[in-house]
Structure formats: C-alpha cells, structure tokens
Amino acid sequence: MDHAPSGTQSRPMASRRAPGPLSGRIAVPGDKSISHRALMFGALAVGETRIAGLLTGEDVLRTAAAMRALGAEVIQDPDGLWRVAGRGVGGLTEPTDILDMGNSGTAARLLCGILASHPIFSVMTGDDSLRRRPMRRVIDPLTATGARFASRDGGLLPLAIEGAPDAHSLDYRVPVPSAQVKSAVLLAGLNARGTTRVEEPEATRDHTENMLRHFGATVEVEIVGNSRIIHLHGQPELRAADVTVPGDPSSAAFPLVAALLVPGSSVTVPSVGLNPLRTGLFLTLEEMGAAVAIANRRLEGGEPVGDLIVSGTALRAVDVPPERAPTMIDEYPILAVAAAGATGTTRMRGLKELRVKESDRLSATAALLSVNGVKVEIEGDDLIVHGTGGAIPGGGRVETHMDHRVAMSALVLGCIATNPVSVDDVSFIDTSFPGFVSLMAALGAALGAAIADA
Ligand code: S3P
C-alpha cells in the first residue's frame, strides 16, 4: 500500500556505513511543538503575531491550513517570517470543509480543545496513521465543556465536533502523561467561563503554559509532590506576541547520536531548545558516557536555548527510569539506536505511551534493530537492547509504518552498520524534519539509493 503523504510516492532509501567521521555545524528546523502552538495562539489572539523559525514540516503546515480554514489569516513572507492575523478568543469561524490534520496527533488533539469551546461545527480527519490513534483521551474530558463529539467506533477519526456555545470550564486530572491532552483541556479553557484546572501526575512539556503567558493569559502552576496543577483564568484577551521558535531538540537528537556513534566525529547543532521537560535524552546520553557540551546558553522567547556539541564516544549501557519518559518520549527510537552501538544491555522502562504514537513505536523500534542483527526484547512496557559495542551487522529492511522518527533512526543506524540498512519509505520524514537527508549528507553520512529487491 502507498502510505506516503498526500500526493507523494513511497520513497525507499538506504544508509551505508559512513566513509569517515561526521563533522560540521548544522542547524535543525524549528521545534514542532512550539510551531503548532505559535500558529494556534496567533489565530486566537487579537492583532498580528510574527513567528520566526517556524518549522515548515508537513505536520505544522496542516495546522497553518486549519487555522486559515477557521478564519485566521496566515501568511509566509518571502524571507521566511510567518504572520498570523488572529480572530480573538472565541472568534474562529465555521470551516467550509473537512479539517485534514495529516499525520499530526498534536495538531488534531490541540485543535479539538480549541474547537470544543467555539460554537461552530467542524469535521476532522487525518491520514492512515492518525486515523488509528486514540482520540478518546481528548474527547472524554472535552465533552464535559458541553461540546458534542461524534467519532468512529473506539474514538477514532474522523470526528464531527459541535463546539459548546457557552463552555463550562474543566477540572481534570490527566490520566496518562500527555502534553497533548493537558493542552487540549487548557485550550478549551481559554473560551470557557471561570478557571480551568488541570492536574498532571507527571510533568510533561510545558510549552502551552509558557505560550499562554507570553500571549497575556493568567496561568498559575502549583507543584504538589510529583504533580503539577495548572490554573488558567478563562476568556482572557490574548494579545498578539512575536515568537522565535528554537531548533527542535527531538530533531537535533538524530545528527547528535550519529556523531556519537561514528568514531572521530564532531558535530555542533546551534540554537536548540533546552526546555528541561524536553532534555531527557541528553541526560541519558551523558549517563552513557557522552560529553554533551552546551555553549552560548540563552533565553529566546521564554524558552532556554543553547548550541550543542558532541564528539564520537564509546557509549555504555544505561537503565532509563520510567519517570524520565515524558521528558524524552519522542527520543526512544534514536536512544535505542545509541544503545545498539553501546556496550552492555540497556533497559528503557515504562514505554507504554510509545504504542500510540505515529506507529506502535515500541514494536517498530524493536523490529528496526532486530532486522539489522541487534538482539532486542520487549518485556511488558520495557525495551531491552543488547549493545553490540559498535559491530552492527545491518543488511535489514526497516518498515517505518508511516513514522518519521522510525525512518530517521534507521538511517542513523546505517551510519555504523557493516551492511547497508534499507528503509521502505522516508517520505514521512518531511512531517518533522524537512531537509534531514541533505543535512546528514553534509555531515558526511552516506544516505542514498535504495538497495534493489533481490
Ligand atoms: C507533543 C506531545 C507528545 C509528543 C508529541 C508532541 C506536544 O505527545 O509525543 O510529538 O507537542 O504536545 P503526548 O503528549 O501525547 O505524549
């Protein structure tokens, strides 16, 4: 079946052992989470929001198109700056067609929150991957605003949404560690009367809270033990605010791990977002023996940013505790690749949420390693990788299951494998990291023509 993003063909590719060390300084595209939010907040604010460094990956372009369909003006200037003329909180208008969120769970779930408290009718769908992902986790809490949702069996997209004309504010304890669910509830709370309260038992990325403040909303965060309790005062007037999007740490992870694995390498990725709720991978790599140097630390648009520098290092196995998962939830596939190149057995604990990502990422990550000769097991929700100390046989064909991060992880594995690693379809990489292949090639990686089927 051809699963590639609309209008494109599946693109197979192979990654061969790097002919020499990887080296150079390369900027990665803007943070995906912050990019979605900047467009959404811009559309909900009064005035013109200017966004520098927006990720122009497929996922974010879906959000841009949805905000346009809901009445905001969203323009990209020739110099790359994006400008959003917002409609104000509660001011979005009924779309004349179905909102297609493509491959993006973040776009779909956050938008459900916004639409729940707008008195308009809309229908939302997505690609084959997104139509398999659970939406009940947002439908259930958002129904308590007074909004009505009709979905496919099991809470799957397509969804029809009738937003509440006079939304009730919510008091909700998020049952799974999910920034998407937290954000959906907070976004619904923007156009609800009174105060919305969201409790998360484990802290997840707080870009929504940061951006709410940046646009002028009143948000208070209480820390009680491990829980965070967020209070948002409803119906504020959001004021347009300029946003500078930092480089995406989840994208930077791929060239940085490649540089750690290929002996003699040295790679710098400038201006990477270093929000502490996103940096679990860098901490874990340090525990594996990597020196992740951070230069030029600074704050940009309320988010910490720095330049990351790593060099080829012999890595050792690590035991990653479950409570770290929310701070590196998107980084397990590439961490598994690092673990495959390390010495010793790495255990990554508590990865239940990986089963409901763009693919069942727990299985897809295990399969990507095992078809390339790395011993791996799944025990309950834990992933166990038996490191090879760098001697990765390769030669396997990885199925990406419409998952950009599985595709990029497989291509990085190929950089140190004895035989080429083939990937069935790299087209989904464009959802989060347009330019990945040429950027890796600029560092010295050998990514190219697929191996012909025998
Ligand atoms: C995201 C939250 C995470 C992450 C996703 C982006 C966000 O999902 O996997 O890539 O921008 O809020 P969950 O919150 O569902 O874990």
pLDDT band at 4 (very low <50, low <70, confident <90, very high): low
Instruction: Return the percentage of the chain with pLDDT > 70, whole number.
Output: 98
- Residue 116 to residue 136: CA distance in whole angstroms: 14
Q: How many CB atoms neighbour CB 171 within 10 A? A: 16
pLDDT of residue 302: 76
Mutate to test the pocket of ligand 1, among 32, 33, 332 (most ligand atoms within 8 A of CB): 33
For residue range 344-362, what is the model confidence (pLDDT) as tens digits? 999 999 999 999 999 999 9
Mutate to test the pocket of ligand 1, among 36, 178, 186, 250 (most ligand atoms within 8 A of CB): 178
- Residue 434 to residue 431: CA distance in whole angstroms: 7
Q: Where in the chain is the domain with CATH 3.65.10.10?
A: 13-30+247-453, 32-233
Q: What is the distance in A from the centroid of ligand 1 to the CA of 124?
A: 19
For residue range 45-84, what is the model confidence (pLDDT) as tens digits? 999 999 999 999 999 999 999 999 999 999 999 999 999 9
For residue range 301-324, what is the model confidence (pLDDT) as tens digits? 778 999 999 999 999 999 999 999
Pairing state between β 266-273 and 23-25: parallel
pLDDT band at 293 (very low <50, low <70, confident <90, very high): very high
Phi, psi of 229 (to 5 degrees): -120, 125
Mean pLDDT, the chain, whole residue set: 96
pLDDT of residue 1: 40
Nearest ligand 1 atom to the CA of 353 is: 16
pLDDT of residue 2: 45
Strand order in the sheet with 23-25: 23-25, 266-273, 303-311, 293-300
Contact 334, 412 (CB under 8 A): yes
Q: What is the distance in A from the centroid of ligand 1 to the CA of 127?
A: 18
- Residue 174 to residue 191: CA distance in whole angstroms: 20
Structure pTM?
Answer: 0.97
Nearest CA to ligand 1 atom 5: 106
Nearest CA to ligand 1 atom 9: 330
User: Does CATH number 1.10.10.10 belong to domain 13-30+247-453?
Assistant: no
Contact 193, 167 (CB under 8 A): yes
Q: What is the DSSP string of 84-132?
A: EE---TT-----SS-EE-TT-HHHHHHHHHHHHTSS-EEEEE--TTGGG
Nearest ligand 1 atom to the CA of 32 is: 11
Q: What is the distance in A from the centroid of ligand 1 to the CA of 29?
A: 17
Q: What is the DSSP string of 280-319?
A: HHHHHHHHTT---EEEEEEEETTEEEEEEEEE----B--E
Nearest ligand 1 atom to the CA of 137 is: 15
Nearest CA to ligand 1 atom 13: 178
Catalytic annotation on 425? Answer: no
Looking at domain 32-233, which CATH architecture does it have? Alpha-beta prism (3.65)
Ligand 1, CB cutoff 6 Å, lining residues:
33, 106, 178-180, 183, 204-205, 329-330, 353
- Residue 341 to residue 390: CA distance in whole angstroms: 4
Dihedral in degrees, nearest 10, Cα atoms 15, 281, 349, 356:
-70
Nearest ligand 1 atom to the CA of 178 is: 14
Provide the CB-side half-sphere exposure for 187 (13 A, CA).
32
pLDDT of residue 6: 58
Pairing state between β 243-244 and 48-52: parallel
454 pLDDT higher than 50: no
Marked catalytic residue, from 31, 206, 330, 425: 330
Q: What is the distance in A from the centroid of ligand 1 to the CA of 180?
A: 5
